[in-house]
Amino acid sequence: MGQQESDSLPEGLEFVNVTALSDLKSLWSKIAKVEARAQDGSTRLFFLKTASGDSAKAMFEGEFEGMVAIHEASSTGFAPKPIAWGEFRDLPGRYFFLEEFVEMADDGTLPDPEDLASKLAQMHKSSASPTGKFGFHVTTCNGTTPQKVEWEESWAAFFARGLQLIDAITPMFEKVVPHLLGRLQQGPNPIKHSLIHGDLWCGNTAVNKKNGATVTFDPAAFYGHNEYDLGNWRPVRNRFGKAYIDAYLRHYSPAEPKEEFDNRNLLYSMYDLLFLDSALCILFPGEEQSVQVKKAMIEDMNYLSDKYNDTSKSS
């Protein structure tokens, strides 16, 4: 950790040590714990991520800005406080992201559904897009994949643009997205522009070891429809499911038409499936998991496309 990164610590802190966290896994970056000393002799800990290349620059800028927004819009403790991001002065092309260190349970414990749901709903309700549009002010990334988050008036158009970035089939854009999402901005109760985590699954949440509270991190943030964050909870592999969705809906009722909530949830899960399929094909070509993800994705797409191919059949 060089002088620039020491300068990035909060005022009054002196860098002491950095330790690699080999027990934590990341596909995209190296991670470490930074120890700093305050003027009164007390110790402060920070979480450090580093990676190289243009993708790292976009990834860490987006993560920092997303965490700033989430930290400011959330109840205390829901997200670690971001500290800084930038390029190492003595290592051109290598970037870092620094945030508060939270000691998390390492036994695989999932967050309590009620705690996660209530905090997420509070964030969705209390936040608002600074432009009155859907999108974000900097590019954010899902993993290392940049998202299309330029400001957009239409939620349906914004969502469709995100799917097109990865892959999709024509009927999804001709029938499904317009029918399920186009009407959300119509009528007496149009959806609001909520701050979205964007990649909210069990791998990006944890339990604070000190108090048992839910902690979230690694966002792919933007302002969108609040129900989007629940799309990641549908796939079984993500270990969240009906209990979490039901808990959330007790704090934030489905948008109108309510009877189409489940199909919207299935549609929102498409982005996760499309991204995961792309990632698995790159990381594990030919692996059975890649085949199963693609099969599930195609089945879900066909279901929605068939259902809304003739809008007179939809309810």
The answer to whether position 77 is within a domain reads yes
Question: Are residues 54 and 163 part of one domain?
Answer: no
The answer to whether position 108 is within a domain reads no
The tokens for 82 are 């971001």
**Residue 256 one-letter amino acid:** E
pLDDT tens for residues 15-71?
999 999 876 666 678 999 999 999 999 999 999 999 999 899 999 999 999 999 999
Q: In the beta sheet, which residues pair with residue 138?
A: none
Average pLDDT, the chain: 89
Task: Please count the other Cβ atoms lying within 10 Å of the Cβ belonging to residue 16.
Answer: 13
Q: Domain holding 63: CATH number?
A: 3.30.200
Number of domains in the chain: 2
pLDDT tens for residues 256-278?
999 999 999 999 998 877 766 55
Task: Please count the other Cβ atoms lying within 10 Å of the Cβ belonging to residue 29.
Answer: 19
Question: Are residues 38 and 74 part of one domain?
Answer: yes
Question: Are residues 95 and 133 part of one domain?
Answer: no
Question: Are residues 56 and 156 part of one domain?
Answer: no
Contacts of 301 (CB under 8 A, 6+ apart): 168, 169, 171, 172, 270
Question: Are residues 125 and 88 part of one domain?
Answer: no
Identify the DSSP state of 174: I
Q: How confident is the model at residue 312 (pLDDT cuts 50, 70, 90)?
A: very low
The answer to whether position 169 is within a domain reads yes
pTM exceeds 0.85 for this model:
yes
The answer to whether position 107 is within a domain reads no
Query: Which residue range is the domain that position 249 belongs to?
Result: 113-313
pLDDT at 286 over 70: no
pLDDT tens for residues 109-147?
999 999 999 999 999 999 999 999 999 999 999 988 899
The answer to whether position 150 is within a domain reads yes
Question: Are residues 135 and 7 part of one domain?
Answer: no
What dihedral do alpha carbons 105, 111, 112, 114 form, nearest 10°?
140
CB 69 within 8 A of CB 128: no
The answer to whether position 106 is within a domain reads no
Domain boundary residue among 100, 134, 155?
100
Identify the DSSP state of 176: I
Name the nearest CA neighbour of 207 among 239, 163, 242: 239
Distance CA 282, CA 132 (A): 37
